[in-house]
Chain A
Amino acid sequence: MKKILKDILDWLEPKVSYADLRFVQTEKENIEVENGILSSYNVSTDRGVGIRVLADGAWGFAASNNLDEASLQETAAKALDIARASALTKKEDIRLASEDKHIDTYITPIVKNPFQVSPSEKIDLLVKATKMMLKDKVKKSEGSFSFYKTYKIFVSTEGSELEQTIFESGGGITAYAIGEGDFQKRSYPSSFGGDYATRGYEFIEEMNLLENAERIAEEANQLLIAPPVPEGIMDIVLGGSQLALQVHESCGHPVELDRVLGKEISYAGGSFLTLDKLNNFTYGSPEVTIVADATVPGGLGTFGYDDEGVPASKSYLVNKGKFVGYLMSREDALKLGLKSNGAARAENWNRIPLVRMTNINLLPGNLELDKLIGDIKEGLYLDYNKSWSIDDKRINFQFGTEIAREIKNGKLGKIYKNAVYQGITPEFWKSCDGISSEKYWHVWGVPNCGKGQPGQAMRVAHGTSPARFRKVKVGASK
């Protein structure tokens, strides 16, 4: 395949100022079980080539699942036609930040290849876990696993030749306690499909699903009879799973430089972190340091090179509360006179690379969890996302969580349901006065971050440990 790609590249080279070709082949296995019954077993294979060209100073992209050389040459010609059409509205020639030529291979380190574990072993585990959850009012239980093996070849007119094989594994379980006119759910290890990582089947084994199934079912039952969370302004601790989504929505998206430059304004929106704020804005308290780190072992946003051939890197976004960096592609980085930090990623062969999150991590603090909670007289511990929404500049956010625990005189107390908290992004992060230590830190995989038109779902992650926020507006969904 690489030879065909290079032949097409040779054909394109005299006609373009830049071109890259990506072959992507993905194998996927998805298993879903409900109430101990297999509801879906799906295996898919998908492959194709995407061709991106800069011609006449504008972008064109065409992609095809037809892999013979003649067909790919037609696809390349189509990309050229599209670039020429784009040039009709250009204001200036598009240029890219410089990047070294890279010739390399990257393979996700795994212990146990998930595709070599038998389907029946995986199905059995989910059947057992979902049966164990069917207690009292838990009338519905779900469990799912997804495994991906993605092989990519990238070649560019700048001479880069990269091959990557990325393994991803993930899954989780959910219990639904159903009553008259109400239902409550609890998920493990995280909500909306569980937790994901660039790891092998060992990641699933380490989840200890069977050891946790009865506990979360019991929590779902307790939630069904629990009172709604009290309303008011109070101190809260966010658990790691919920905090991951808080980082995602209120930091990860607003630091995407393409949003800041208005490229997403018609769909996902813009960002309050405008160019004038770079190195000149207090995003959060001095406790808050957030990095983009595509090199964290096992992170769902971990890879060797992004889809523009830029090596994975670690860069600071927020340093001790100060806003210091964006996620960037080569095109956007040049506008700031910078090099890309390797954040241009494409969902598949038929999508262009966009500025995407990698692993956006809130670095751990130094507190023990009991100390974090111990300094709250009256407040709440909130975890596991149930609902999320944020305005189109990423300022006004609101999240709902599966479970809330009362904090009284520094101790965890009773369970509340239907918790919702709302805030204004910089004010909220400035109210953070404590983050628990590395002992509690975990990189949570988020497999479905949506962006772009046509839509692209990206697999990203967030390293977090529970953190404390003062004077937050809390209420109950009704």
Chain B
Amino acid sequence: MKDINSGKELVNKIKSFIKNYDFEIIASEGKSELTRFAESYIHQNVAENNINLIVKVINEDRISTVEMNSIDDHTIAKNIEKAIEVAKIAPKLDYHYQLLKPQLYKIKSKYSKDTANFKPLNRAQLVSQLIKEVNKREYEAAGAFRTEESTLLAANSEGVFAFDRGTKVDFNCVITRDNSTAHTSFIDSDINNFNINKITDELLGTALKNVEQIEIDPGIYTVILSPEAVSEILNYAGYTAFNGKTIMEGKSFVCHNQGKKIFPETITVSDDPFDELTMPIPFDLVGYPREKTDLIKNGVIKDGVYDHLTALKYNRKCTGNTLPPEQASFGALPFNLVMKEGSNSVEEMISSTKKGIYISRFHYVNILNPMSVQLTGMTRDGTFLIEDGKIVRAIKNMRFNTGVIDMLKAVDMISKERQTKPGFIGPAVTPYLRTNNFTFSSKTSF
């Protein structure tokens, strides 16, 4: 399934095995290679080729799904036979399962031949360069460097045929020297945009400041969040609050606040595959074209994202956020979270802060209260005290128990600069944020 033609051949093959039923297909194929390093040497270095084929058989609102990673005739036939057998006896859905009709697709994933051809030795050379530079300052480096090439196909018996090919570069690194640490991450489709010197400078710049950390007391603080920290918060909010299924079930704060302006005018968050900084995912896993969906617009709560099943069940419009069948009961997630930029420079945000905390990164974030979107987690790899407009000291890590709604209500500055950072599905595009309501609940010892 390396190209459109092999994708079409696969669809035709499956058609020949399923004569009397409707069906949907999701197929993916790819190679993924990852070089992992720690203590300044490569300790894990892996490569994988795989294919995955999912066939959903639909028999008058009775559905079953089979999944396989071999596409020879025997394997496909045997699995489809099993799917048909179960689709005959499965209880019916309580709504009519309608197949998607053929669609037009406006965007494609980004593809870089250089990324696809990047070799283990190329990755090792860049890692080696980084290690040498940070070792000069007596830091150790640890991280992961992945290059990937993949194809994705979604099709059905109504004639939907969506095919896409993309590449990905995904890098993250932590450098450490005793308790002095720093972290950075990079995500893009094109290896030519990866600049190891810039990454090294960024890491050392943070780490050299993150020394002799002092303890501060828990409490409510003004904080400036890095784009990475903002991405993590927004992804959890997307997961728990902007999932159309939880909204329909009455399990999200969105269902009681839709249309209300509860955040400052400057807060606009969307699921937007068209943003210039994102890595677009062109269709969801039933082949629905992805579109821009406003979650929060100028401070007003708009709506969530919807998968095909939830949209059918509750008579809503699918927003192109359908997940694979095994995760279908979850509902939907934003694929390309985007937060609109503000008007401030990061320097202005810091210099206008009388007393506050700069947070580089979170660790082990989790949901404390899904209805109020209260989250918990730790700070990590560079948390700094700001006094009188300057970063004055590094501080020890803290646990936060903070409500995202209260946090966003108190946002008073947003940076013009935005960065592309890892997200739950596709990457998120996020700015720096300053909020005057962020609750730290306890401390740790480092």
A261 touches B39 (CB 8 A): yes
Known: A66-B49, A85-B123, A418-B369. A391 touches B37 (CB 8 A): no
- Is B103 an interface residue when CB atoms closer than 8 A count as contact? no
For B134, the chain A residues whose CB sits under 8 A away are none
Centre residue among A120, A395, A453 by max chain B CB count within 10 A = A453
Cβ contact of B444, chosen from A40, A88, A395, cutoff 8 A: A395
B172 touches A267 (CB 8 A): yes
- Is B34 an interface residue when CB atoms closer than 8 A count as contact? yes
A41 touches B49 (CB 8 A): no
B42 touches A45 (CB 8 A): no
Cβ contact of B128, chosen from A79, A88, A400, cutoff 8 A: A88
Q: Which secondary structure characterizes the binding site on chain B?
A: strand
The distance in angstroms between the C-alpha atoms of A418 and B92, with both chains bound, is 36
For B250, the chain A residues whose CB sits under 8 A away are 139, 178, 183
- Is A62 an interface residue when CB atoms closer than 8 A count as contact? yes
For A337, the chain B residues whose CB sits under 8 A away are none
B47 touches A82 (CB 8 A): yes
B47 touches A78 (CB 8 A): yes
The distance in angstroms between the C-alpha atoms of A180 and B253, with both chains bound, is 10
Centre residue among B90, B121, B364, B369 by max chain A CB count within 10 A = B364
B183 touches A85 (CB 8 A): no
- Is A189 an interface residue when CB atoms closer than 8 A count as contact? no
Range, interface on chain A: 35 or more
- Is B316 an interface residue when CB atoms closer than 8 A count as contact? no
For B131, the chain A residues whose CB sits under 8 A away are 89
The distance in angstroms between the C-alpha atoms of A7 and B202, with both chains bound, is 48
The distance in angstroms between the C-alpha atoms of A66 and B367, with both chains bound, is 40
Known: A65-B49, A266-B38, A477-B369. A89 touches B363 (CB 8 A): no
The distance in angstroms between the C-alpha atoms of A75 and B83, with both chains bound, is 32
Closest to B130 in A: A89
For B229, the chain A residues whose CB sits under 8 A away are none
Centre residue among A267, A389, A453 by max chain B CB count within 10 A = A389
The distance in angstroms between the C-alpha atoms of A26 and B241, with both chains bound, is 35
Flag the segment in A31-39, A147-155, A283-291, A402-410 that touches B.
Answer: A31-39
The distance in angstroms between the C-alpha atoms of A47 and B251, with both chains bound, is 39
A454 touches B34 (CB 8 A): yes
- Is B416 an interface residue when CB atoms closer than 8 A count as contact? no
For B328, the chain A residues whose CB sits under 8 A away are 39-40
For A119, the chain B residues whose CB sits under 8 A away are 86, 89-90
A350 touches B43 (CB 8 A): no
8 Å CB interface, A261-301 against B: 261-267, 269
Cβ contact of A142, chosen from B40, B329, B380, B441, cutoff 8 A: B329
- Is B63 an interface residue when CB atoms closer than 8 A count as contact? yes
Mark each residue of chain B from 410 to 446: 1 if its CB lies under 8 Å from any CB of chain A, else 0.
0000000000000000000000000000000111111
Mark each residue of chain A from 64 to 102: 1 if its CB lies under 8 Å from any CB of chain B, else 0.
111000000001001101111110111100000000000
- Is A387 an interface residue when CB atoms closer than 8 A count as contact? yes
- Is A60 an interface residue when CB atoms closer than 8 A count as contact? yes
Mark each residue of chain B from 8 to 52: 1 if its CB lies under 8 Å from any CB of chain A, else 0.
000000000000000000000000111111111111111111110
Flag the segment in B64-72, B107-115, B190-198, B277-285 that touches A.
Answer: B64-72
For A265, the chain B residues whose CB sits under 8 A away are 38, 142, 174, 176
- Is A467 an interface residue when CB atoms closer than 8 A count as contact? no
The distance in angstroms between the C-alpha atoms of A302 and B83, with both chains bound, is 31
Mark each residue of chain B from 338 to 379: 1 if its CB lies under 8 Å from any CB of chain A, else 0.
000000000000000000000000011111111110101110
Flag the segment in B150-158, B385-393, B396-404 that touches A.
Answer: B396-404
Cβ contact of B380, chosen from A350, A388, A392, A475, cutoff 8 A: A392
B46 touches A389 (CB 8 A): no
Known: A82-B46, A127-B91. A262 touches B38 (CB 8 A): yes
Closest to B91 in A: A38
For A14, the chain B residues whose CB sits under 8 A away are none
For B142, the chain A residues whose CB sits under 8 A away are 262-263, 265-266
B428 nearest CB across to chain A (Å) = 18
B79 touches A43 (CB 8 A): yes
A389 touches B376 (CB 8 A): yes
- Is A42 an interface residue when CB atoms closer than 8 A count as contact? yes
For B368, the chain A residues whose CB sits under 8 A away are 387, 400, 420, 477-478
The distance in angstroms between the C-alpha atoms of A293 and B131, with both chains bound, is 38
Mark each residue of chain B from 81 to 113: 1 if its CB lies under 8 Å from any CB of chain A, else 0.
011001001111110000000000000000000
A-B pair count, CB < 8 Å, reads 264
A40 touches B364 (CB 8 A): no
- Is B256 an interface residue when CB atoms closer than 8 A count as contact? yes
For B225, the chain A residues whose CB sits under 8 A away are none
- Is A123 an interface residue when CB atoms closer than 8 A count as contact? yes
For B92, the chain A residues whose CB sits under 8 A away are 37
Closest to A390 in B: B364
- Is B120 an interface residue when CB atoms closer than 8 A count as contact? yes
The distance in angstroms between the C-alpha atoms of A389 and B368, with both chains bound, is 10
B45 touches A32 (CB 8 A): no
B70 touches A65 (CB 8 A): yes
The distance in angstroms between the C-alpha atoms of A352 and B92, with both chains bound, is 41
B376 touches A453 (CB 8 A): no
Cβ contact of B67, chosen from A44, A61, A477, cutoff 8 A: A44
B445 touches A41 (CB 8 A): no
A350 touches B48 (CB 8 A): yes
- Is B211 an interface residue when CB atoms closer than 8 A count as contact? no
Centre residue among A78, A265, A395, A422 by max chain B CB count within 10 A = A265
B314 nearest CB across to chain A (Å) = 13
Centre residue among B37, B370, B378 by max chain A CB count within 10 A = B378
The distance in angstroms between the C-alpha atoms of A84 and B121, with both chains bound, is 8
Mark each residue of chain B from 315 to 334: 1 if its CB lies under 8 Å from any CB of chain A, else 0.
00000000001101100000
For A178, the chain B residues whose CB sits under 8 A away are 249-251
A276 nearest CB across to chain B (Å) = 14
The distance in angstroms between the C-alpha atoms of A51 and B83, with both chains bound, is 32
The distance in angstroms between the C-alpha atoms of A424 and B127, with both chains bound, is 36
For A393, the chain B residues whose CB sits under 8 A away are 444, 446
B378 touches A391 (CB 8 A): yes
B144 touches A266 (CB 8 A): yes
Cβ contact of B50, chosen from A48, A176, A389, cutoff 8 A: A48
Cβ contact of A44, chosen from B66, B365, B403, cutoff 8 A: B66
Known: A40-B329, A181-B371. A387 touches B376 (CB 8 A): yes
What are 19 contact pairs spanning A and B, CB under 8 A? Answer: A34-B329, A38-B90, A43-B82, A63-B46, A63-B47, A64-B50, A81-B119, A139-B250, A180-B256, A182-B371, A183-B250, A265-B174, A388-B366, A389-B365, A390-B378, A392-B378, A398-B442, A422-B441, A453-B34
Given contacts A140-B249, A393-B446, A454-B146, 9 further A-B contacts (CB under 8 A): A41-B63, A59-B43, A64-B50, A91-B40, A140-B251, A391-B363, A398-B401, A453-B144, A478-B401
Taking Cβ atoms with an 8 Å cutoff, the residues of B that contact A are 32-51, 63-70, 75, 79, 82-83, 86, 89-94, 119-121, 123-125, 127-128, 131, 140, 142-144, 146, 172-174, 176, 183, 249-251, 253, 256, 309, 325-326, 328-329, 363-372, 374, 376-378, 380, 397, 399, 401, 403, 441-446
**A-B pairs with the 4 shortest C-beta distances?**
A44-B67, A396-B444, A85-B120, A477-B368
Taking Cβ atoms with an 8 Å cutoff, the residues of A that contact B are 30, 32, 34-35, 37-48, 58-66, 75, 78-79, 81-86, 88-91, 119-120, 123, 127, 139-140, 142, 176, 178, 180-183, 261-267, 269, 350-352, 387-393, 395-396, 398, 400, 418, 420, 422, 424, 453-454, 473, 475, 477-478
